[in-house]
């Protein structure tokens, strides 16, 4: 699970990063609203934790812009703005939850879990040719038959199907599916892609998942 923390006070962001990483979340930090917005729009995050008062672009503006593109990714405000009016404005901007500073880390953690659970329960279904994928149940069918995939293969297929007809860059895939930044030229994606195509009974390159040479992959209905 990958969380983006947009917070301009290093003491708070450092504390959040350390605490959340101890809970096995992968955490990236943006120190102003503009960087935060750019990072959030990469689509690699499972949840956003937003301060409101930020340099360049406020957390509120960030939330509104982010929501236009990602209606289902949970957003939690973590802010010193504590009036009822501000809370309502924050929630109306599309945030899922609103926590006032100072906060208790254990409560924040529980609220993050609630949001991620709610997201998982809201089952989504995607199709690609003969393949149907259900996100909540982690189920993949080819016609009526279940296809057994590893977690990484499932995550890879889910990412490609969610972005159907768009070229997915190798760097985006690696960040989303593997939760890490590493060398662009690594062959790890190709290895998983070959195995995935085999399990889905797709022929290499010319089928529903096509290789875009030098860039990445694209999932397409034929």
- Taking the least distance from each CB to Ca ion, the nearer of 62 and 147 is 62
- CB nearer Ca ion, residue 78 or residue 219: 78
Pick 51 or 158: Cβ nearer Ca ion: 51
Region of 4-12, 27-35, 60-68, 140-148 interacting with Ca ion (CB under 5 A):
4-12
- Smallest gap from Cβ 100 to Ca ion, in A, equals 13
DSSP class per residue in the chain: -EEEEE-S-HHHHHHHHHHHHHTT-EEEEESSHHHHHHHHTTS--SEEEE-SS-SSS-HHHHHHHHHHH-TTS-EEEEES--SHHHHHHHHHTT-SEEEESS--HHHHHHHHHHHHHHHHHS--EEEETTEEEETTTTEEEETTEE----HHHHHHHHHHHHTTTSPEEHHHHHHHHHSS---TT-SHHHHHHHHHHHHHTPPTTTSSEEEETTTEEEE---
Residue 191, interface with Ca ion (CB under 5 A)?
Answer: no
Q: Provide φ and ψ at 33, rounded to 5°.
A: -65, -35
Using CB positions, name the residue nearest to Ca ion.
Answer: 53
By CB under 5 A, residue 175 contacts Ca ion: no
Q: How many residues bind Ca ion (CB under 5 A)?
A: 3
Under rule CB under 5 A, which residues in 18-57 are in contact with Ca ion?
A: 51, 53
Nearest distance from residue 32's CB to Ca ion, in Å?
A: 9
| Closer of 1 and 57 to Ca ion (Cβ) | 57
Give the number of other Cβ atoms within 10 Å of residue 4's Cβ.
Answer: 23
Nearer to Ca ion, 53 or 167 (CB): 53
> How far is residue 89's CA from residue 25's CA, in Å, rounded to a whole number?
28
Q: What residues from 50 to 69 belong to the interface with Ca ion (CB under 5 A)?
A: 51, 53
Instruction: Decide: is 8 part of the binding site for Ca ion (CB under 5 A).
Output: yes
To the nearest whole angstrom, how small is the minimum distance from the Cβ of residue 53 to Ca ion?
A: 4
Question: Cβ closer to Ca ion: 53 or 215?
Answer: 53
- Least distance CB 55 / Ca ion (angstroms): 8
In angstroms, give the least distance from the CB of 10 to Ca ion: 11
Please give the residue ranges that form the binding site for Ca ion (CB under 5 A): 8, 51, 53
């Amino acid at each position: 699970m990958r969380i983006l923390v947009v917070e301009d006070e290093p003491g708070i962001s450092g504390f959040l990063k350390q605490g959340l990483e101890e809970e096995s979340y992968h955490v990236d930090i943006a120190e102003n609203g503009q960087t935060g917005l750019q990072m959030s729009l990469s689509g690699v995050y499972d949840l956003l934790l937003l301060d409101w008062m930020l340099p360049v672009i406020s957390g509120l503006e960030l939330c509104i812009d982010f929501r236009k593109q990602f209606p289902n990714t949970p957003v939690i405000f973590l802010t010193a703005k504590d009036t009822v009016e501000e809370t309502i404005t924050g929630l109306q901007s599309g945030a899922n939850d609103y926590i006032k500073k100072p906060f208790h880390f254990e409560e924040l953690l529980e609220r993050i879990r609630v949001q991620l659970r709610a997201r998982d329960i809201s089952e989504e279904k995607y199709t690609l040719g003969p393949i149907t994928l259900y996100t909540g149940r982690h189920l993949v069918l080819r016609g009526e038959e279940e296809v057994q995939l590893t977690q990484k293969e499932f995550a890879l297929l889910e990412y490609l199907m969610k972005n159907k007809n768009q070229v997915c860059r190798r760097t985006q895939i690696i960040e989303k599916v593997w939760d890490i930044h590493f060398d662009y030229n690594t062959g790890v994606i190709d290895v998983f892609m070959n195995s995935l195509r085999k399990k889905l009974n797709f022929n290499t390159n010319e089928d529903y998942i096509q290789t875009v040479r030098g860039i990445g992959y694209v999932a397409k209905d034929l």
